Structure 1
Amino acid sequence: MNAATKPSRLRDTHVTLSHGGGGRAMRDLIEEVFTDVFRPEGDEDQARLTDAALATPGARLAFTTDSFVVTPLEFPGGDIGKLAVCGTVNDLAVGGARPLWLSAAFIIEEGTEIALLRRIVASMVREAEAAGVRIVTGDTKVVGRGSGDGVFITTSGVGVIPAGRDLGAAQIRDGDVALVNGVLGDHGATILAARGDLALSTPLESDCQSLTHLMEAVLAAAPGTHAARDATRGGLASTLNEMAEAAGVTVELDEAALPLRTEVKGLCEILGLDPLYLANEGTLVLFVPEAEAEAALAAMRATPAGRDATIVGRAGPRGSVPVTMRTAFGGQRIVDMLVGEQLPRIC
């Protein structure tokens, strides 16, 4: 009898403190909402992992962890579950790893709708399957009403970096070309509009997506790729500053080349925000040698996650200002690291 046909023992419509108490109510919640959907192998307190890639000489393990606290929990283009899978998968993929396994830990506030939890878990499974990873272990905790803001999720991921790959910001060289795979700022703008505080109405959707297949395509077409980073909190501007400082280079952006939706530009103009600092959850920036730039661009554009890929700038020699932008008027603008937070609780 599978999960879809066996009778439900979970009668509650909302989470109560008893669902975190270690007894039958907790077991029913975990089994029916989580393990029956994630389907981990075995019933132990740890996942036991095997993969042929681990036996390949020179292969290395990559490991990452992240927590997700977005408000609202569901938004156009995704939800906290999809975000948790994509965020962790992408942290592995941009380092050249092939993501394989995820863990997922949930902190659930008393009073949360169980139907909402089921939607979040279903979203995680769909995205994990699309990214080629398995959710193999996890945990749940329940906190009192008013202590948790619905649901918090922490995901950790393990992947394998094939022999010979060595991506990292320190590898960027003077003359490298900077590319992005898609439009900028969609996630941050979508979350802001979805909160409803400003009565904004836009057709925007979050760019939340996994980048595993795109990175594999890029590395096959441009094996000399030096570095990649997903431009999440702090947006493209902060990400480029971090990478430039790590490599000891400068980066010059071309304002005319930056891919921005009219709706995002308009929203930023109304609210006094800079789209270069808005968060992305499915957009990366990568640096490749100039000789491989066109190959990398074509490889990205051939994938669903890279249809809007474009060249946005170039690395130069070390200087006093890590990142600048050549403006549409022909001048130069300093693009500094984000100070403070434009928009909290976005991921």
Structure 2
Amino acid sequence: MHDKEQNAFSSWQMNCPVSIPTNADYVTLAHGEGGRLSRKLIQERIVHALSNETLLAMNDAAQLPRVTGALALTTDSFVVSPLFFPGGDIGTLAVYGTINDLAVSGARPLWLTLSLIMEEGLPLVILDRVLQSIAEAAQQTGVKIVAGDTKVVPRGAADGLFINTAGVGELIAPIPSGAATLQEGDELIVSGTIGRHGIAILAVREELGLEPLPSSDCGSLLRPVEILRESMGHQVRCLRDATRGGVAAVMQEWAEASGMTLSIEEQSLPVSPVVRGISELLGLDPLHIANEGTMMIAVKQGAGADAVSFLKSLPETADAQVVGTVKHRGIAAVTIKRTLGAEQPLDDPLGSPLPRIC
């Protein structure tokens, strides 16, 4: 590998748990041409890492068993930079991000598809580490990766590796009624400390020199959603994982769907000292910063305390808090009562304060 190539690879290796040998093999355009190298890449690396009977059949389309209930389908793309960050990588992000979308929609995730868009020159050791993360996350959440695709683009046409997924799950009753059914007095809950994922990406990408590095909340929401569904039933109105745009974006969407005003209190928001400190230093609002393992929940009036109690029984949602309520529509769709000051509108950010976070 030439020095110029090695320097390019170093930017992909940021926080990478494996080192890149100077004589490393790497992805070439031939890996995407459907010939011998393509088959070798798919069979010896991808199928080997993600092995299950459906993938091993190597069909053009996965043949799946019949399910009794209605299905939910979601799709997502992941272009996070850097590929590795404290608390996860693009592989874990792709699996958890997809299954979380299914879970908060009322579905039990069953199957995923996986498409890899690789840049010419991507070191194969990095691809192997991402595939390992994907396999571990899929095993932990009980989903099968049943189909996929690979493409290779010329050097400079991508940023190492992009991933596209589709997820299929079976809808399980009771299905949350949705944001359109929000009513006055309903209580708003955040399942954990907010802004961790975006700040973790920022700290690594911008080399802020923090020790220890902030860690992303990248993780599965399956267990928290399951315990809420089993324990609260129809008392749960709606759930949403607060990814791009953070908690503020979820509230704006819910306010638009319901025609109500969503009102929160700043002092109730769970924010870690690290996220609060970096946000204040850089002029960011944690409510606008992305999460990847934190959700917003709306429950019927009076059910908030019980919901938080159930969530706090799990380590991944131990910091859950009731943060606000639903009110009749006022002047603003979303409001916040700041720690020092009166209630004021909480607007959507015009653009992302931090691009390429998922």
TM bin (shorter chain)? over 0.9
Which stretch shifts more, 326-335 or 181-190?
326-335
Counterpart-to-counterpart distance in 1, 2:179 and 2:166: 22
The one-letter code sitting in structure 2 at the alignment partner of 1:299 is F
1:339 deviates by: 0.8
Decide whether the 8 Å contact of 1:92 with 1:158 is kept in 2: yes
Matched, 1:39 2:39: no
The structure-2 alpha-carbon separation of the partners of 1:18 and 1:97, relative to structure 1 and needing over 3 Å to count, comes to same
1:290 alignment partner, SS class: coil
Match of 2:136 in 1: 126
Match of 2:29 in 1: 17
* 1:199 Cα deviation from its structure 2 partner: 4.2
Query: How many angstroms apart in 1 are the aligned matches of 2:342 and 2:127?
Result: 50
From 47, 69, 83, the equivalent of 1:73 is: 83
d(CA) in 2 for partners of 1:291, 1:132: 34
1:205 aligns with 2:215: yes
Question: CA offsets, 1:160-201, max 9 Å, x none?
Answer: 112442432112221111111110000000000011344454
- The corresponding residue for 1:48 is 63
2:167 to 157, 167, 173: 157
Is contact 1:96-1:167 (8 Å) kept?
Answer: no
**Contact 2:24/2:123, CA 8 A, preserved across alignment:** no
Post-superposition Cα deviations, 1:87-127, rounded to whole Å, max 9, x if no partner, equal: 11011111111111100100000000111111111101111
Deviations 1:270-297 (A, max 9, x none): 1111111010000000100123222211
Residue equivalent to 2:15? none
Which blocks of at least 5 consecutive residues in structure 1 are unaligned?
Answer: 1-10
Identify the match of residue 103 of structure 1 among 91, 113, 122: 113
The 8 Å contact of residues 255 and 326 in structure 1, kept in 2 or not, is answered as yes
Q: Which residue of 2 aligns with 1:323?
A: 334
Greater mean alpha carbon deviation, residues 185-194 or residues 334-343 = 334-343
Alignment partners' CA distance in 2, 1:143 and 1:258: 43
**CA contact under 8 A between 1:167 and 1:228: conserved in structure 2?**
no
Contact 2:176 2:239 in 1 (8 A): no
How many Å separate the matches in 1 of 2:107 and 2:227? Answer: 13
Following superposition, the deviation at residue 128 of structure 1 comes to 1.2
The Cα of 1:318 is off from its aligned counterpart by: 1.7
Superposed CA offset, 1:232-284 (max 9, x none)? 00011111111111111111111111011111111111111111101000000
Counterpart residue number, 1:346:
357
Gapped runs of 5+ residues in structure 2?
1-22
SS in 2 for 1:43: coil
Q: What's 1:7 paired with? A: none
Q: Is the 8 A contact 2:284 2:353 kept in 1?
A: yes
Could you say what secondary structure the match of 2:267 adopts? helix
State the SS of the aligned residue for 2:302. helix
TM, length-normalised to structure 2: 0.90
SS at match of 2:118: strand
**Matched position secondary structure for 1:135:** strand
Tell me which amino acid in the other structure corresponds to 2:126: L
- Distance change (3 Å), C-alpha of 1:163 and 1:260: closer
**Counterpart amino acid of 1:46?**
A
Aligned to 1:272: 283
Name the aligned partner's letter for residue 255 of structure 2: A
CA distance in 1, matches of 2:342, 2:249: 21
Taking the TM superposition and a 5 Å limit, the aligned residue runs for 1:209-220 are: 209-220=219-230
How many percent of aligned residue pairs carry the same amino acid? Answer: 45
Structure 2 CA distance for aligned equivalents of residues 46 and 20 of structure 1: 19
> For each residue in 1:324-346, what CA deviation from the matched residue of structure 2 results, as whole angstroms up to 9, or x when unmatched?
11111241121111211100110
C-alpha displacement of 1:129 = 1.5
**Is the CA contact (8 Å cut-off) linking 1:60 and 1:163 kept in structure 2?**
no
Contact 2:174/2:229 (<8 A) preserved: no
Task: Indicate the residue corresponding to 1:5 in structure 2.
Answer: none
